[in-house]
Amino acid sequence: SQQGEEDPQALSIQEGENATMNCSYKTSINNLQWYRQNSGRGLVHLILIRSNEREKHSGRLRVTLDTSKKSSSLLITASRAADTASYFCATASNDYKLSFGAGTTVTVRA
């Protein structure tokens, strides 16, 4: 079973717009990570936010974490065609595995 659930399942935006996707999870976590996957290939790590952090930035990415609501959001600002991909949140608890959601597919239109 999947720990995280992303919302929406799919997102289509115009180049230059912002894209926001959300992730909800069920159990307590050590950290939450966001990954990008292009065309069914390998996962690229985007950002890791620890359970005691509330917000983190990396370039055009902004991630928030609300442990009381067991939710996280990923914001991509000023989107580009190259941002077209599937985005996954993954939670890490005190065991050794990452638990992934089903992902959000983002399409950036030129």
Q: Check residue 103 for interaction with another protein (CB under 8 A).
A: yes
* Per-residue binder mask for another protein (CB under 8 A), 22-41, x = binder: --------xx-x-x----xx
- Using DSSP's 3-state secondary structure scheme, residue 19 falls into strand
Radius of gyration of the chain (CA): 13
For another protein, which residue of 10, 17, 18, 45 counts as binding (CB under 8 A)? Answer: 45
3: number of Cβ within 10 Å: 22
For another protein, which residue of 14, 42, 69, 110 counts as binding (CB under 8 A)? Answer: 42
Residue carrying structure tokens 């929406």: 8
Tokens encoding 31: 């950290």
From the list 11-19, 45-53, 60-68, 69-77, the region that binds another protein by CB under 8 A is 45-53
